[in-house]
Amino acid sequence: MVHIMLVEDDEATLYVTSGLLENAGHVVEGFANADTAYAALAEASPRPDVLVLDYHFPAGQPDGAAIAARARDLYRDTRIIFITGDPMAAVSLGRTYLVLPKPVNTGRLLAAIRAAPTGIGAPAP
């Protein structure tokens, strides 16, 4: 069982992805608001094993990179997987994080969670 923090501003995508991950036996804490997720990282108990997040959020909210940086500061061994439809973000993030394109294939997401490198910032396999 993996404890996953899922951050996705599209509520339908958040709901469906949470359900898929829970059906696969994982514990999921979902956030549709980047500000709330950013703040919750400091109070996470237990700490997330994996952070799965989008890159872009509405104006005025931190982007996925800011959330990832906060997670890095708090939990060096939490693994990060970005899911984004932005090819430029994918190129930039892919140098440091595991990045999956939207729409994400369920099998690829589950495999990525199993294979996510230990330690935020560790290169993707």
Q: Domain segments of the chain: what residues? A: 3-115
pLDDT at 23 > cutoff 60: yes
Q: Quick one: which of 59, 81, 68, 75 has its CA closest to 37?
A: 68
Q: What is the pLDDT of residue 118?
A: 52
Query: What percent of the chain lies above the pLDDT cut of 70?
Result: 91
pTM to 2 decimals? Answer: 0.88
As a whole number, the mean pLDDT across the chain is 88
- Asked whether the bond before 46 is cis by omega within 30 degrees of 0, the reply is yes
Residue 12: CB partners within 8 Å, gap ≥ 6? Answer: none
Question: What is the phi/psi pair of residue 66, to 5°?
Answer: -65, -40
CATH 3.40.50.2300 is the classification of domain 3-115: yes
Summarised one tens digit per residue, pLDDT across range 48-78 is: 999 999 999 999 999 999 999 999 899 888 8
Residue 29, both tokens: 């804490």
